[in-house]
Amino acid sequence: MTPTVESLFVVEKACKFATDMSTGTIVVESTNDSQFNMAIEELQHANARNMATGYAVRQGMSDARINGSLIGPYPVNSKGQVLDQVKDEAGASLPPQHPDMQPKAYRVDVPVCRRLI
């Protein structure tokens, strides 16, 4: 089964670009939050990479390309926090049953760069 683009979206507030738009990281999330195995598959598909490079071009990066390996898929909670980065006030990891440790969605970070030549 080929994942559809409709189930993927760019998390604009999490994307980062160098000031000269030479490099960046585009965060793509799957809306398939009821079946995480499908979300992971969607994020590993070429559609996620194509969405990321298309977004980079629309933001002003000329001829955007994938720059290295994708990071993820990784789970985030309902607040958009990466689960392995959620800590308590003392800096310790929360127990798995804590509400902030429940996965809501999966994301992938796509490193992009502009063409060098």
pTM of the model: 0.88
**Burial (Cβ within 10 Å: 0-12, 13-18, ≥19) of residue 104:** middle
6-35: per-residue pLDDT in tens?
789 999 999 999 999 999 999 999 988 778
Helix (H) or strand (E) holding 37: helix 36-44
Residue spans per domain, the chain: 5-113
63-112: per-residue pLDDT in tens?
999 998 888 899 999 999 999 899 988 989 899 999 999 999 999 999 99
Q: Which residues of 61-95 are buried (b: 16+ CB within 10 A; e: fewer)?
A: beebebbeebebbbbbbeeeeebeeeeeeeeeeee
